[in-house]
Chains A and B, each alone.
Chain A
């Protein structure tokens, strides 16, 4: 039991502001569209302000969870209601509130039917996203993790385009499939922790408690890592689990794509950082080559497929696969640079891909087409638009001076330290990234303005400039002065690295005395076999 340093449950307040807003909007009349939009925006701004309040209350020199809240919830299962944040979650939380606000403003003209349900869904989604980044109890975490799927399903299914129904259920099925395996993994560590042989003997879902587990690599860490991997890898998505992403991103409404790319994908990578590395450190070391391999395939494959796209939105979607590959490469470099870069790149990707989807949304709203071939020479007609597009593109490509560079650079350093070949292959991805982006820009913005429909295009209006501005600011800020972003997550990153290092040392020791290790391993196996005779048969 207990509340945080403020003596006030600030995190809970933040998490449930959007939910309260959504419930309030439910009671509005359908016809009061103006009022609904304004309320939704106001609610998201309040959430944003509250999330900014976290920053002064946050001590960025400590690696422990801060602003923690802890209440007993379901004692018979050992479930607690526990919230808390460290530097990693803080970054992602602030990013969530900012991007949600932007997503709401960007929808004012883009969404023009079933307004009420639309904003209810987005606010509901925000609560889910915030909860995932704050939860310190697996049960609570899982609730937020899953409940988020529902509003996203509706966003794609109702307000989407193309094969929206197909994409919506595909998204839902894929993620649910992975999540359920993660749930089995959670239950397994829950029972392992309750077994005095491995854990504290307590029945608890507390993430911090379970992070202290020291499980043997075989069979536990090995299989449990894979169970969690399935849950997170589908969400990220890593190659070869990415096939839902192009469909979902392409068919979702603009705000849906922004939230999906900006925040939802980060939950997968966040899951790897928060759960897989600290709970299964030895398995992380063990699986590192495979993870890095998949990440590299994702980087190159995503970029190559992006090159071949005719639809702008699909191109951006595949660029996400490539960029998330970078994040995964950074995480599984398993060193300080890689992990720092990966987390920073999570924010960067949220900012720049979010911005790209907004940019695509703007042009789609004007022309109702997203085919690259339908455009050309837009820069003369839409100067502000093309400038914003250019900056965003460069940010996404990783041009020095912009945010993407810092993240990718750190990831490459990390990858280089881990294995030079990885870094070498990843560089190919960067080059390809520059290629598809520049080629896209060239085909859309330069050349003759020969399509008559494009002659009448209007440049960005004030509202559009206003919601793009903060994103552009962040691109430059992180690009030129990334220190505050890096230092806030440093202690948390160090803690994870320390945990990995101790495991790595153990792994080395094990391999040097492999024979004895194998013997004890078989012994242990025999004991577990006896203990769970039925299980083994099963």
Chain B
């Protein structure tokens, strides 16, 4: 029998194709660009992201399922694709001067960021466990290299190796979970898995539970949920700052986008008692993340624990397992991404030839040296705590309302207590910035691109707090289409 090729609509992966091709072009062009002019490759990468963004805009509103149902293009996928493109663009804006200061201005840097972006963009679009796994690996592999990019810095190497080892371990667990799932249901297609579970009522079959636990563990590593978070602080501290930012925003958002797809589509979370495992993980994650963040003196470590805590909040949406909950995860992720990128942009700003700039004490009196930076940081801090008017507040409000609608009152109370705790450590930084005397030696490495990054992130954080309607609407719409 002749094998028939399935009908493939390449248009569905047009943005990723553009990005992948241009990333390859970038690798090829790299040797021909002078070492001192590598930032041109950064601009090239920005152009690639722009083109890919244009094509994403062109596809807006489409709904295509292709590659034998392994890849879809729906508004959910488009929502996240746009988000990842923006994140990568901001990361590159942050990197241009930073990589020069840290003497890692190599062309591969930008190429790897683009490849990671391609992986991320496939993740919310994957409707088959295999295509999901491939995109996850594409993203992770690129990030493994990027974390260890400062190869002369032992901390970066340490972080890179830790990330690599835990990362492949997590991938292994996910793969193992996929295997169990395949064994139990005979398919890797998410919709077919869901149909199988529905028809055979095997919700409590051991291999299915095993698969669920393994997947939760694997995803737990990827989003740095307790007790799978141990890698995060060291990796965050060691990696080049923009890469850390990328890990904590892009990679985390991508993992969540895939997690939603897998758990909702395949496991139909709203049925059964899956939520009990997630409940425990969420509570541990936010509580431990916030408590450990209290004692940090390094900004990047502090943000590592804060990003752990935020993963805990995000899980609330998954536990509530209602339409609002899923939409809330999307809204929260958008806010989280911008506020976190903003803080990382400020850390990059402090990095100069003789200062790493990632200690909290390096922020001393910064608001007095430059009041605008102070204001920007207040916006980010408010948003991170969840105080209005900020994107973080809207996200939290939406998450809490999902939980209340689902009847998870205790979870809300725990989350509220955690938010209060988080105020202390975020505002410890505000206090240092506003109430301490400035360091004499502080040099701000301003570059036009970094200014753009800070302006954009702070503006969006504030704007989404005042007018979140478009994002909420888009999130609800995309959740409705794939539920």
Enumerate chain B residues within 8 angstroms of A184, measured Cβ to Cβ: 400, 404, 409, 412-413, 416
The 10 closest A-B pairs by CB, nearest first: A535-B407, A532-B407, A143-B388, A180-B416, A177-B420, A76-B472, A538-B408, A187-B401, A187-B404, A74-B469
Contact A76 B279 (CB under 8 A): no
Q: Is the CB of A146 within 8 A of B472?
A: no
Determine the residue in chain A with the shortest Cβ distance to B468.
A74
Chain B, Cβ-Cβ closest to A177: B420
Interface centre among B371, B378, B401, B411 (most CB of A within 10 A): B401
Please give me the residue from chain A that is nearest to B418 by CB atom: A180
Answer whether residue B397 sits at the interface, using C-beta atoms and an 8 A cutoff. Answer: yes
Give chain B's interface residues, CB within 8 Å of chain A.
275, 279, 368, 371, 378, 382, 385, 387-389, 393, 397-398, 400-401, 404-413, 416-417, 419-420, 423-424, 427, 431, 434-435, 467-469, 472-473, 476
The answer to whether B420 touches A176 (Cβ under 8 A) is yes
List residues 143-188 of chain A with CB under 8 A from any CB of chain B.
Answer: 143, 146-147, 149-150, 153-154, 157-158, 165, 168-169, 172-173, 176-177, 180-181, 183-184, 187-188
On whether the beta carbons of A150 and B388 are closer than 8 Å, the reply is no
A153-B427, A158-B434, A176-B387 known; A187 vs B397 contact (CB < 8 Å):
yes
With both beta carbons as reference points, the residue of chain B lying nearest to A189 in the complex is identified as B404
Report chain B residues within 8 Å CB of A146: 387-388, 393
**Residues in chain B near residue A165, CB distance under 8 A:** 431, 435
Once the chains bind, are B424 and A173 in contact (CB under 8 Å)? yes
Provide 26 A-B residue pairs closer than 8 Å at the C-beta atoms, listed in order of the A residue.
Answer: A73-B467, A76-B469, A114-B368, A146-B387, A157-B431, A157-B434, A165-B431, A177-B417, A181-B416, A183-B397, A183-B416, A184-B409, A184-B413, A187-B397, A187-B401, A188-B404, A190-B401, A191-B401, A191-B405, A534-B275, A534-B406, A534-B408, A535-B406, A535-B407, A538-B407, A538-B409
A77 at the interface (CB under 8 A from B): yes
The smallest C-beta distance from A193 to any residue of chain B, in angstroms, reads 12
What are the residues of chain A within 8 A of B385 when measuring CB–CB? 176
Q: Which chain B residues border A117 with CB–CB below 8 Å? A: 371
Chain A residues contacting B275 (CB-CB under 8 Å) are 534
**Interface residues, chain A, CB within 8 Å of chain B?**
26, 73-77, 114, 117, 139, 142-143, 146-147, 149-150, 153-154, 157-158, 165, 168-169, 172-173, 176-177, 180-181, 183-184, 187-188, 190-191, 532, 534-536, 538
- Measured between C-beta atoms, what is the minimum distance from A350 to chain B in Å? 26
Check B407 against A142 for contact (C-beta < 8 Å): no
Question: Given the complex, which residues of A lie within 8 Å of B401, measured CB to CB?
Answer: 187, 190-191
Q: How far is the CB of A314 from chain B (nearest CB, A)?
A: 23
Q: Which residue of chain B lies nearest to A72 when distances are taken between CB atoms in the complex?
A: B469
**From B398, B409, B427, B476, contact of A535 by CB (8 A):** B409
Once bound together, how far apart are the Cα atoms of A187 and B404, in whole Å? Answer: 7
Residue of chain A at shortest CB distance from B405: A191
Partner of B400, one of A149, A173, A187, A536: A187
Give the distance in Å from the alpha carbon of A201 to the alpha carbon of B417 in the complex. Answer: 30
Residues of chain B with a CB closer than 8 A to A538's CB: 279, 407-411
Q: A143-B388, A184-B409, A184-B412 are in contact. List 19 more A-B contacts (CB 8 A).
A: A77-B398, A142-B388, A146-B393, A147-B389, A150-B382, A157-B434, A165-B431, A169-B424, A173-B420, A173-B423, A180-B419, A181-B416, A184-B400, A184-B404, A187-B404, A532-B407, A538-B408, A538-B410, A538-B411
State how many angstroms separate the Cβ of B470 from the closest Cβ of chain A: 9
- B279→A150 contact, CB < 8 A: no
Contact of A176 among B413, B423, B476 (CB under 8 A): B423
Q: Which residue of B lies closest to A168 (CB)?
A: B431
Asked whether, in the complex, the Cβ of A172 is within 8 Å of the Cβ of B427, the reply is: yes
Q: Which residues of B contact A26 (CB under 8 A)?
A: 371
Q: How far is the CB of A120 from chain B (nearest CB, A)?
A: 10
- Determine whether the beta carbon of A77 is less than 8 Å from that of B472: yes
Q: Which residue of B lies closest to A30 (CB)?
A: B371
Most central of A143, A180, A534 by chain B CB within 10 Å: A180
Query: Cβ of B473: which chain A residues have Cβ within 8 Å of it?
Result: 76
Contacts of B435 in A (CB 8 A): 157-158, 165
Q: How far is the CA of A234 from the CA of B56 in the complex (A)?
A: 49
Residue of A nearest to B270 (CB): A534
Contacts of B397 in A (CB 8 A): 139, 183, 187
Whole-angstrom distance between the Cβ of B413 and the nearest chain A Cβ? 7
Q: Is the CB of B427 within 8 A of A74?
A: no
Q: How far is A76 from B477 in the complex, measured between Cα atoms in Å?
A: 11
A180 lies within 8 A of B467 (CB)? no
A154 and B431 CA atoms in complex are apart in Å by: 9
A191 & B404 in contact (Cβ 8 Å cutoff): yes
Complex formed: what's the CA distance from A188 to B402 in Å?
Answer: 10
B423 CB contacts on chain A under 8 angstroms = 169, 172-173, 176
* Contact indicator A536/B419 (Cβ below 8 Å): no
Q: With A153-B427, A190-B401 in contact, is A147–B388 under 8 Å at CB?
A: yes
Cα–Cα, bound, A146→B383 (Å)? 12
List of B residues within 8 angstroms of A532 by Cβ:
406-407
What is the distance, in angstroms, from A241's C-beta to the closest C-beta of chain B?
14
Q: Which residues of A contact B408 (CB under 8 A)?
A: 534-535, 538
What is the CB-to-nearest-CB distance from B373 to chain A, in angstroms, rounded to a whole number?
14
A169 touches B431 (CB 8 A): yes
A172–B368 Cα distance when bound, in Å, is 22
**Chain B min CB distance to A174 (Å):** 9
User: Which residues of A sit under 8 angstroms from B393, Cβ to Cβ?
Assistant: 146
Contact between B472 and A154 (Cβ–Cβ < 8 Å)? no
- A residues near B413, Cβ cutoff 8 Å: 181, 184
Knowing A146-B388, A184-B400, A184-B413, the reply to whether A534 touches B407 (Cβ < 8 A) is yes
A190 to B405, CA, bound (A): 10
Taking CB atoms, residues of chain B closer than 8 Å to A73 are 467, 469
Chain B neighbourhood of A169, CB < 8 A: 423-424, 427, 431
Query: Within 8 Å CB of A139, what residues of B?
Result: 397
Question: Do residues B472 and A183 form an inter-chain contact, with CB atoms below 8 A?
Answer: no
Residues of A within 8 A of B406 (CB): 532, 534-535
Beta-carbon contact of A180 and B420 below 8 Å: yes
B473 closest partner in A (C-beta): A76
Nearest-neighbour CB distance to chain A for B455, whole angstroms, equals 16
Chain B residues with CB below 8 A from A176, complex form: 385, 387, 419-420, 423
Give the nearest-CB partner of B422 in chain A: A176
Contact of B434 among A154, A177, A180 (CB under 8 A): A154
Give bound CA distance, A184 to B393, whole Å.
13
Identify A147's interface contact among B387, B410, B417, CB under 8 A: B387
Closest to A77 in B: B472
Q: Considering the complex, give the chain B residue whose CB is closest to the CB of A75.
A: B469
Residues in A with CB closer than 8 Å to B411 are 538
B contact residues around A173 at 8 Å (CB): 420, 423-424
Contact A150 to B407, CB < 8 A, known contacts A169-B424, A180-B420: no
Minimum Cβ distance to chain A for residue B283 (Å)? 11
Q: Min CB distance, B388 to chain A, in Å?
A: 4
Chain B nearest CB from A354 CB (Å) reads 26
B324, chain A: closest CB distance, angstroms:
10
- Measured CB to CB, the closest approach of chain A to B467, in angstroms, equals 7
Contacts of B419 in A (CB 8 A): 176, 180
* A172: chain B residues within 8 A (beta carbon): 423, 427
Distance in angstroms between the alpha carbons of A331 and B368 in the assembled complex? 45
Q: Which residues of A contact B382 (CB under 8 A)?
A: 150
Asked if A183 and B407 sit within 8 Å, CB to CB, the answer is no
Give the distance to chain B from A107, nearest Cβ to Cβ, in Å: 18
What chain A residues lie within 8 Å of B407 (beta carbons)? Answer: 532, 534-536, 538
- Which residues of B sit under 8 angstroms from A142, Cβ to Cβ? 388
State how many angstroms separate the Cβ of B65 from the closest Cβ of chain A.
27
- C-alpha gap A117/B467 in the complex (Å): 27
- From A184, which residue of chain B is reached at the shortest CB distance? B412
Which residues of chain B are near A75, meaning CB under 8 Å? Answer: 469
A422 to nearest B CB, angstroms? 32
A421 to B398, CA, bound (A): 46
Minimum CB–CB distance for A46 against chain B, Å: 24
Q: Which residue of A lies closest to B372 (CB)?
A: A26
- B472: A residues at CB distance < 8 A: 74, 76-77
Provide the bound-state CA to CA distance between A278 and B469, in Å.
Answer: 30
